[in-house]
Structure 1
Amino acid sequence: MSEKVSFGYEDVAPEEKEGRVGAVFSNVARKYDLMNDAMSAGMHRLWKDKFVRRVKPRAGEQILDMAGGTGDIAFRMEKAGASITVSDINQDMLDVGIERAMERSIDTLVWSRQNAEELSFPARHFDAYTIAFGIRNVTHIDKALAEAHRVLKYGGRFFCLEFSTTEWPGFKEVYDVYSHKLVPQIGQALAGDADSYRYLIESIRRFPPMPRFEAMIREAGFKHTKVEPIMGGLVAIHSGYKV
């Protein structure tokens, strides 16, 4: 039986998922903020601010921001004076980020097209690895986590911001209706693309629950792992250290 991986609610071959996810993000690259606003009711901006506060970027550090193509996290971190490499598998997303950096007169970032499962960087190169709302779209999450561990220096820190499943009674049901029914309609109305938004919501439902994902981070070799749920687990900040 050939391997299957999830693409939303479908199970597909790994090579098919990579291509289809690539198409989704090429479609939404120019509507990135709209996409995140639709999925989070605008709260993603506050969550990203909190995430960067947890990362605590410092001057002189080397930080890899994976799946960070449009620069949202990197723009927040570069103010600290860290040297940041922004990587993404999707060139359309990177192109948007580069344009946004030029608009902000930010010329200190390095932009690099990379597959999270097979990074070209040497081992023990970065002080921190960040990935926000990207890891659930990776074909083999375990390989991406192993690569994150490999490229981090000893003492390096891993931080991941990702949607999960809220455990707040009542709110969970309301958000399920909002996300499954309204978000694709918003995508269609504002971006002419219901299917991409539908996939992004379905991908959240197929992502491992918080305890299982934390276990995966530990299995990749990280120590002192931690999960910080936000809004009852609607999103969570996962972290760990290479020691």
Structure 2
Amino acid sequence: MKVGFANSTKDANKSNEFLTFPLFAQIPQESLRFFAMLELIFNLPEPTMTEHISDSQPSEKHAENQPHFNPADQQETTHFGFKTVAKEEKQKLVANVFHSVADKYDLMNDLLSFGIHRLWKRFTIDCSGVRKGQKVLDLAGGTGDFTAKFSRLVGQSGEVVLADINDSMLQVEREKLRNLGVVDNVNYVQANAEALPFPDNTFDCVIISFGLRNVTDKDKALRSMYRVLKPGGRLLVLEFSKPILDPLSKAYNFYSFNILPKIGEMVVNDGESYRYLAESIRMHPAQEPLKEMMLQAGFEEVSYYNLTAGIVALHRGYKF
């Protein structure tokens, strides 16, 4: 079984073409034929992003009819899914999403990924290099899947800090881990990834799993993660990405934008939160742009590995 990361641009491109981790990276020919058939049947449409023009930013067509625009008066904006919102508003909107889905977060993960998320996480742990006595930050920790595993790996001489910006998720995480008997070497902190409340050079490993796409200022968050890592420490980013096979990409888009919200509506009575999930995945940087963002934040030897043909990518970078 061959596993590994691309350590150069050449290797990264090769990794994208030849996915060598058979458990969840290779796509059987039968599946490819199935996705191609789906494309023919549904003519799978590409979801489009609705254009949003701010009142304070007139289009060229109407600029001549608008009052003088002062850039200093412009409110900073970002995206919430396909919507354009004020930066300070996004954090509240994302919080509402996770308040809504927290109680059935694990169930929905299993339903929506057909359980494959457990394999992605297992591979991530294998690539973490975490050992006894080390200190790990599990950022945007979901319901504590990684914390439970890392707690055993670091042992009583180590520590895992589970940090999440959402108090509803923290409550679910704490209750779940206590029921599993994970208590002694785990601490819980409500924290914003953009301004982590830890001293410089604190952690041997920082991991953020399916959380970076929800962060308002990703560059700021990456710099914050870099700051709290010890020299020699590593960051692991497990996140939805861009499928590298066209038939799979179109089928995946159809599933994400048409089926996923319906499952959310049936199970948690909240289809809109899962529509946001699909939109946030589409808006998140693909493999190479995210790699470049990590390099710009100061990380070195940044590499990534495509899982399930790029539906998910695992990025890894070091602080030296």
> 1:32 and 1:73 mapped to 2: Cα distance?
14
CA RMSD between the two structures: 1.0
* 1:102 paired residue number: 178
Query: What pairs up with 1:185-204 in 2 under 5 angstroms?
Result: 185-204=262-281
Say how many residue pairs are matched: 243
Query: What pairs up with 1:23-34 in 2 under 5 angstroms?
Result: 23-34=96-107
Q: Which residue, out of 155, 158, 163, partners 1:87?
A: 163
Of residues 198-207 and 41-50 in structure 1, the stretch that sits farther from structure 2 once superposed is 41-50
> 2:115 and 2:124 mapped to 1: Cα distance?
15
SS in structure 2 of the partner of residue 26 of structure 1:
helix
1:57 lines up with 2:130 in the alignment: yes
Query: What pairs up with 1:1-243 in 2 under 5 angstroms?
Result: 1-80=74-153, 81=155, 82-107=158-183, 108-243=185-320
- Spell out, residue by residue over 1:166-224, the C-alpha distance to the aligned partner (whole angstroms, 9 max, x if none): 01131111111111100000000111010111101110000011100100000000000
SS in structure 2 of the partner of residue 127 of structure 1:
strand
Structure 2, unaligned runs of 5 or more:
1-73
SS in structure 2 of the partner of residue 120 of structure 1:
coil
Give the CA deviation at 1:18. 0.3
Of residues 75-84 and 201-210 in structure 1, the stretch that sits farther from structure 2 once superposed is 75-84
> 1:37 and 1:165 mapped to 2: Cα distance?
20
> 1:233 and 1:150 mapped to 2: Cα distance?
29
Change in Cα spacing, 1:118 to 1:15, as seen in structure 2 (3 Å) is same
> 2:111 and 2:274 mapped to 1: Cα distance?
9
Contact 1:214 1:226 in 2 (8 A): yes
Contact 1:7 1:203 in 2 (8 A): yes
> 1:184 and 1:143 mapped to 2: Cα distance?
30
Of residues 1-10 and 132-141 in structure 1, the stretch that sits farther from structure 2 once superposed is 1-10
One-letter code of the match for 2:91?
Answer: E
> 2:112 and 2:75 mapped to 1: Cα distance?
33
Contact 1:39 1:201 in 2 (8 A): no
Contact 2:136 2:150 in 1 (8 A): no
- Spell out, residue by residue over 1:83-114, the C-alpha distance to the aligned partner (whole angstroms, 9 max, x if none): 10000000110100110011111112111111
> 1:188 and 1:143 mapped to 2: Cα distance?
34
> 1:228 and 1:39 mapped to 2: Cα distance?
22
Give the CA deviation at 1:42. 2.0
Give the CA deviation at 1:231. 1.6
Give the CA deviation at 1:38. 3.9
Contact 1:8 1:206 in 2 (8 A): yes
TM-score norm. by structure 2 comes to: 0.74
Give the CA deviation at 1:4. 1.2
Greater fraction of residues in strand? 1
One-letter code of the match for 1:96?
Answer: V
Give the CA deviation at 1:34. 2.5
SS in structure 2 of the partner of residue 170 of structure 1:
helix
SS in structure 2 of the partner of residue 232 of structure 1:
coil
Contact 1:60 1:83 in 2 (8 A): yes
Give the CA deviation at 1:232. 1.7
